[in-house]
């Protein structure tokens, strides 16, 4: 009789941001779940920036929260400073970013895993994974064996991790942790298409060695906004951040030592992130740029470490110190942790479908940096979807597939599984063609009903959400029915804001549509305004002002949905379809798109190829042959 150390419905390999969301979601759906980590002290670690959110990333955090995930709540519990980015631009790109206490965040997430019903947190390195009857068999470095119905791989940058600092390189994980050195070989033997990516992190400096009097202060917003729809108030910001700039001396140090960079010396084979390059790469790629911005951010309330945002490097330690000391305010800085690059194994995400399940390995899922993405938020979003789908598979329920028009999460996953990732993928607002309707302020409106249907949003929270939606409808109705009489005071205000005065009674909604006006400007003249959640007013104002643009984008969404509804057979050999170009045949056979919409987004599939698919579908009974 075979002895197993444990048997689970869902096993999660890795307890970073992806693994946490996967494990919590699966356990909360009622599945017996285990999450394995090499070191329990690294659960929820933030090895890079001590922040959550940012441009487009803040959207992901709000969406995770709207679905019933945990990242937003924990970020609120551990926040130090909160700022809304891109306020000078339209609401589609407004994104929340919060400085957090990174150690508190890690401790809080670990404790939440420990307290969760149906969930076991285990310190163990998974070294082998193989298919077995009824699921998967996991083996640890201590030769303990676990049988699991489904598995989520969320290994982050640990898988085959190798650290680079100048001429020195060694096997290692982030923040001095051990790497996962044997699991990669097992995954290759299984047949997963692995490749190498690279990322990096800046140095940390001793707070008292920095001359803050020379730096620009960056305050948080007042009042600060939370990520979670369940957080009522954050209180006051607890810290400030600072800004400095590099100069010609900084650039000169880089140019004199670029031959010592493992990236430029050819020792790093992994592909790095285009949108978050090392500082030496910035200097080499933008030689004409006179300076680069540096953000100096606290890592927590109970540490003196300061994070050098924007200055990651893999140069030797003494070179790092030399170029940091050319920067205003850092002339006498003391380096507590040097910057480093890390190279790691990840998978080609086109081997998965939109549920993040591997097409050729039922019950096996991937999430986070293992899937070729970068960033805490991208990882957490994928972890949530992978964990939910692993649980739904065990429970015999329909899988969760988030579409591009529903969310940034849907856009992220569709990009990965349809287009692949030739470099670490980073979410940006420009990646969504529907960003005006996928704003962070309406994430609950878009996704909370889905979270409720899944069983991850409580009845109390859902009732509160429905009440908010009713308040929003009532407020729009009030704006349409309320008329403001002309007056000298009103016209004086209108003229002062460079908009036309009124001579007759004007409906509030018509005034609200003017770009120069909003709720705050009209406060003195809107005497019957109800007391509502500020988020309700925010959504109403945006929808009123951008009504025409939003309606236009909703029509685009509907057009794409018609293509998404034209299903394609999963097991069809596109080489048998005459009229398709050879490249299209190869790409379609590799990706196995579920529908015409997904097929149209595959690189190498032209509009002419899509026309061939549409004609073929029509001739073969349309959706009759589609995948179920």
Question: Residue 276 pLDDT > 80, yes or no?
Answer: no
pLDDT for res 310: 92
Question: Residue 80 pLDDT > 80, yes or no?
Answer: yes
> What average pLDDT does this structure show over 16-41?
98
pLDDT for res 287: 85
Rounded to whole angstroms, the Cα distance separating 63 from 70 reads 11
Could you tell me which CATH number the domain at 6-197+345-454 has? 3.50.50.60
Q: How confident is the model at residue 472 (pLDDT cuts 50, 70, 90)?
A: very high
Question: Residue 366 pLDDT > 50, yes or no?
Answer: yes
The structure's pTM equals 0.95
Q: What's domain 565-625's superfamily in CATH?
A: GidA associated domain, C-terminal subdomain (1.10.150.570)
Q: Token pair of 72, please?
A: 């937003």
> What average pLDDT does this structure show over 434-443?
95
618-624: long-range pairs with CB below 8 Å, 24+:
622/566, 623/565, 623/566, 623/567
**Range 467-502 burial, b when 16+ CB lie within 10 A, else e:** ebeebbeebbebbeebebeeeeebeebbeeeeeeeb
- Which one is predicted more confidently, 266 or 397? 397
Of 304, 302, 377, 373, whose CA–CA distance to 74 is shortest? 377
Rounded to whole angstroms, the Cα distance separating 91 from 540 reads 12
Q: How confident is the model at residue 624 (pLDDT cuts 50, 70, 90)?
A: very low
CB neighbours of residue 325 within 10 Å? 15
> What average pLDDT does this structure show over 103-132?
97
Q: What is the domain class of 476-548 according to CATH?
A: mainly alpha
Q: What is the domain class of 204-343 according to CATH?
A: mainly beta
Question: Residue 626 pLDDT > 60, yes or no?
Answer: no
CB-based contacts of 458, cutoff 8 Å, min separation 6: none
Question: Residue 528 pLDDT > 60, yes or no?
Answer: yes
| Residue carrying the six token digits 């998974």 | 126
> What average pLDDT does this structure show over 222-245?
95
Contact (Cβ atoms closer than 8 angstroms) between residue 313 and residue 202: yes
Contact (Cβ atoms closer than 8 angstroms) between residue 588 and residue 605: yes
Mind giving me the DSSP string for 472-502? HHHHHHHHHH-EEPP-HHHHHHHHHTT----
> Which region among 265-269, 286-290, 539-543, 550-554 has the lowest average model confidence (pLDDT)?
265-269
Q: Token pair of 76, please?
A: 């609120």
pLDDT tens, residue by residue, 182-203: 999 999 999 999 999 999 999 9
Of 434, 460, 430, 429, whose CA–CA distance to 446 is shortest? 434
pLDDT for res 1: 52
Q: Token pair of 464, please?
A: 């509160």
Mind giving me the DSSP string for 299-366? --TT--EEEEET----S-HHHHHHHHTTSTT-TT--EEE--EEEEEEEE-GGGB-TTSBBTTSTTEEE
Sign of CA dihedral 344, 350, 351, 357: positive
Sign of CA dihedral 599, 601, 602, 607: positive
Rounded to whole angstroms, the Cα distance separating 344 from 372 reads 10
Q: Residues of CATH 1.10.10.1800 domain(s) within the chain?
A: 476-548
pLDDT for res 627: 38
CB-based contacts of 84, cutoff 8 Å, min separation 6: 94, 95, 96, 97, 221, 225
Q: How confident is the model at residue 274 (pLDDT cuts 50, 70, 90)?
A: confident
> What average pLDDT does this structure show over 24-37?
98
Rounded to whole angstroms, the Cα distance separating 519 from 529 reads 10
The packing angle between helices 248-257 and 317-324, to 10°, is: 160
Q: Residues of CATH 3.50.50.60 domain(s) within the chain?
A: 6-197+345-454
Rounded to whole angstroms, the Cα distance separating 203 from 279 reads 11
**378: helix, strand or coil:** helix
Q: Residues of CATH 1.10.150.570 domain(s) within the chain?
A: 565-625
CB-based contacts of 255, cutoff 8 Å, min separation 6: 283
Q: Which of 207-221, 525-539, 575-589 is most confident?
A: 207-221
Percent of the chain with pLDDT over 70: 98
pLDDT for res 628: 30
pLDDT mean across residues, the chain? 94
Q: Token pair of 145, please?
A: 């064996």
Q: Token pair of 607, please?
A: 């509009």
Contact (Cβ atoms closer than 8 angstroms) between residue 83 and residue 221: yes
> What average pLDDT does this structure show over 401-405?
95
Contact (Cβ atoms closer than 8 angstroms) between residue 412 and residue 381: yes
pLDDT for res 275: 67
Q: Residues of CATH 2.40.30.260 domain(s) within the chain?
A: 204-343
Rounded to whole angstroms, the Cα distance separating 23 from 31 reads 10
pLDDT for res 266: 81
pLDDT for res 377: 98
Burial class of residue 278 in the structure, from the number of CB atoms within 10 Å of its CB (0-12 exposed, 13-18 middle, 19+ buried): buried
> What average pLDDT does this structure show over 25-32?
98
pLDDT tens, residue by residue, 321-364: 999 999 999 999 999 999 999 999 999 999 999 999 999 999 99
> What average pLDDT does this structure show over 258-286?
84
């Amino acid at each position: 009789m075979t002895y197993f150390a444990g048997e689970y419905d869902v096993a999660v390999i890795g307890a970073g941001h992806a693994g946490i969301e996967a494990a919590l979601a699966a356990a909360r759906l009622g599945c017996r779940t285990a999450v394995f980590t090499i070191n329990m002290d690294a659960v929820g670690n933030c090895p890079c920036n001590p922040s959550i959110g940012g441009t487009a990333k803040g959207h992901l955090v709000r969406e995770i929260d709207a679905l019933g995930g945990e990242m937003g709540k924990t970020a609120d519990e551990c926040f130090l400073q909160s700022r809304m980015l891109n306020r000078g631009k339209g609401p589609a790109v407004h994104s929340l970013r919060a400085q957090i206490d990174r150690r508190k965040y890690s401790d809080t997430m670990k404790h939440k895993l420990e307290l969760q019903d149906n969930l076991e947190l285990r310190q163990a390195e998974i070294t082998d994974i193989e298919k077995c009857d009824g699921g998967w068999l996991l083996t640890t470095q201590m030769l303990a064996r676990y049988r699991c119905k489904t598995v989520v791989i969320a290994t982050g940058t640990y898988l085959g991790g190798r650290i680079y600092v100048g001429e020195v390189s060694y096997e290692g994980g982030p923040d001095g942790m051990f790497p996962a050195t044997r699991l990669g070989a097992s995954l290759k033997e299984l047949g997963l298409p692995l490749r190498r990516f690279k990322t990096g992190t800046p140095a940390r400096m001793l707070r008292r060695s920095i001359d803050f009097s020379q730096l620009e202060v960056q305050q948080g917003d007042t009042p600060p906004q939370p990520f979670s729809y369940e957080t009522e108030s954050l209180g006051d910001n607890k810290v400030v951040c600072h800004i400095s700039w590099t100069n010609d001396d900084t650039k000169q140090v880089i140019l004199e030592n670029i031959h010592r960079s493992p990236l430029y010396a050819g020792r790093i084979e992994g592909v790095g992130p285009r949108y978050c390059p090392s500082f030496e790469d910035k200097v080499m790629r933008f030689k004409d740029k006179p300076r680069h911005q540096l953000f100096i951010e606290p890592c927590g309330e109970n540490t003196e470490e300061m994070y050098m945002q924007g200055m990651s490097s893999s140069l030797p330690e003494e070179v790092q110190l030399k170029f940091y000391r050319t920067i205003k305010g850092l002339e006498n800085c003391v380096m507590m942790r040097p910057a480093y690059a890390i190279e790691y194994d990840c998978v080609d995400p086109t081997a998965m479908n939109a549920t993040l399940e591997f097409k050729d390995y039922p019950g096996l899922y991937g999430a986070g940096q293992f899937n070729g993405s970068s960033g805490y938020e991208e990882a957490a979003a994928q972890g949530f979807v992978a964990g939910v789908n692993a649980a739904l598979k065990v429970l015999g329920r329909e899988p969760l597939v988030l579409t591009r028009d529903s969310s940034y999460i849907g856009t992220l996953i569709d990009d990965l599984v349809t287009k692949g990732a030739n470099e670490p993928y980073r979410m940006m607002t420009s990646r969504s063609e529907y960003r005006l309707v996928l704003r962070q302020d309406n994430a609950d409106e878009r996704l909370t009903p889905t979270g409720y249907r899944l069983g991850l949003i409580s009845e109390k929270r859902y009732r509160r959400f429905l009440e908010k939606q009713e308040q929003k409808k009532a407020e729009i109705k009030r704006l349409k029915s309320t008329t403001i009489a002309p007056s000298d005071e009103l016209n004086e205000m209108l003229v002062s804001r460079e908009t036309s005065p009124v001579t007759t009674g004007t409906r509030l909604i018509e005034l609200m549509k003017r770009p120069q006006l909003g709720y705050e400007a009209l406060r003195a003249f809107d005497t019957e305004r109800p007391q509502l959640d500020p988020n309700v007013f925010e959504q109403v104002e945006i929808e009123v002002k951008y009504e025409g643009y939003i309606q236009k984008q909703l029509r685009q969404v509907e057009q794409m949905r018609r293509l998404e509804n034209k299903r394609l057979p999963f097991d069809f050999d596109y080489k048998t379809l005459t009229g398709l170009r050879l490249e299209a045949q190869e790409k379609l056979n590799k990706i196995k798109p579920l529908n015409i919409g997904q097929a149209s987004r595959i690189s190498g599939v032209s509009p002419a190829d899509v026309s061939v698919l549409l004609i073929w579908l029509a001739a073969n009974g349309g959706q009759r042959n589609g995948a179920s």
